[in-house]
Amino acid sequence: MYFLQSAFKSIRKNYLMTFASVFVLMACMLIIGSAYLCSANIAAFMDSLGEKNEIVAYVDDAVEESRLASLQEEIESIDYVESVEYVTKDEALAEYQQQFEEDASYLSWFYGDENPLRNEFRIQVSEKNLEEFESVSAKIAAMEEIANISDSQEVVNMLISLKKVMDILGFWIMIILALVSWFIVSNTIKLAMYNRRHEINIMKYVGATNAFIRTPFILEGIMIGLCAAVVSFAVQWIIYVYLLQPLVADLSFITTVPFARLSPMIMLYFGGIGLLVGLVGSAFSINKYLKV
């Protein structure tokens, strides 16, 4: 109780600096959060495109069902093909609807009850021979019964490198921002201690332990961190749901991941960063005035 009172008192006295550090921390968290959201969306988009060693071959509607089994065997006999799976268009539709949840409703909007998809073969190329991927897909595309194929390799490759860059960049941004946050929080606490150095001094003279004196300042640091975390979470949510998602929906066919699915990680990140920076920033900044 005394500790909390003392921490609040210090914040009130030092509110400009406190706000500044909450703001900086928030900026850091929002940047990290946005990087995470981007990365998570890219990952989800990649998943929706299928695996990188997969070729989807769409069967011409004119092909008789009796031909399918031998067609599958033919594909399986191509070098480096590992497995072939036949998926009917109804199965494909059900899968699609499941993957994109409510957004799949636009399908029925366009096509009514009719299934716009085709029967398809999903072909896995051996992971060890990915360099043969293109020749395999060319052979399949050349088959008469196959209407067209989709191997999303190029897009996927691009996305993979984009995600790699995002992840590496995100990591370093996170390190730098963590340092910046630590710097500002520790300086805020230093200033708070400077403001109360007289009091701290006297506390020492009447026999207070360092831990006793530090506790309110560490609490102050943690409060700054958690405050920034809570506000950042709200801001991140608003930006994502009311700005980013509508924008992406307007500009492209990409389906964004619902915020609710990413929010636990965001909460974890923000809470963790806030707690850590608050704790470390305050705990390692306050020794000068304790040495009497």
Partner 1 sequence: MILFDDVYKSYPNGTNALNGVSFKIEDGEFVFVIGPSGAGKSTVIKLLMHEEVPTGGTVRVGDFDIKKMRNSKVPMLRRSMGVVFQDFRLIDNLTVFDNVAFAMRAVGCSPRTIRRRVPYVLGVVGLGHKAKNFPPELSGGEQQRVALARALVNNPHLIIADEPTGNVDPEMAREIMELLNQINQNGTTVIVVTHDNTLVNEFNKRVIHIEKGRLVGDQVGGYYAEEE
Distance linking the first and last C-alpha atoms of the chain: 26
Task: Choose between 68 and 283: whose C-beta lies nearer to partner 1.
Answer: 283
* 117 counts as binding partner 1 under rule CB under 8 A: no
Q: Measured between alpha carbons, how far is 243 from 246 in angstroms, rounded to an integer?
A: 6
* 1 counts as binding partner 1 under rule CB under 8 A: yes
* 157 counts as binding partner 1 under rule CB under 8 A: no
The residues near 45 (Cβ < 8 Å, ≥ 6 apart) are: 159, 254, 255
Which ranges of 50-152 does DSSP label H, i.e. alpha helix? 68-76, 89-100, 105-111, 133-141
Q: How many residues does the chain have?
A: 292
Task: Choose between 13 and 122: whose C-beta lies nearer to partner 1.
Answer: 13
Tell me which residues in 190-219 interact with partner 1 (CB under 8 A).
Answer: 198-199, 201-209, 212
Task: Choose between 150 and 210: whose C-beta lies nearer to partner 1.
Answer: 210
Helix axes 15-49, 2-13, angle to 10 degrees: 100
* 12 counts as binding partner 1 under rule CB under 8 A: no
Least distance in angstroms from the C-beta of 9 to partner 1 = 10
Q: Measured between alpha carbons, how far is 139 from 172 in angstroms, rounded to an integer?
A: 44
Q: What does 47-60 look like in DSSP terms, one character per residue?
A: HHH--TTEEEEEEP
Least distance in angstroms from the C-beta of 255 to partner 1 = 58
Least distance in angstroms from the C-beta of 206 to partner 1 = 4
* Binding footprint of partner 1, residue count (CB under 8 A): 15
Q: Measured between alpha carbons, how far is 111 from 115 in angstroms, rounded to an integer?
A: 7
Least distance in angstroms from the C-beta of 201 to partner 1 = 8
* 288 counts as binding partner 1 under rule CB under 8 A: no
Question: Beta partners for 124?
Answer: 54, 83
CA distances, 192 to each of 16, 22, 82, 239 (Å): 11, 14, 66, 33
CA of residue 62 relative to chain centroid, distance: 43
* 108 counts as binding partner 1 under rule CB under 8 A: no
> Which positions from 39 to 58 touch partner 1 by CB under 8 A, shown as an x/- string?
--------------------
Task: Choose between 107 and 208: whose C-beta lies nearer to partner 1.
Answer: 208
* 112 counts as binding partner 1 under rule CB under 8 A: no
Task: Choose between 168 and 292: whose C-beta lies nearer to partner 1.
Answer: 292
Task: Choose between 7 and 84: whose C-beta lies nearer to partner 1.
Answer: 7
Which parts of this chain interact with partner 1 (CB under 8 A)?
A: 1-2, 198-199, 201-209, 212, 292
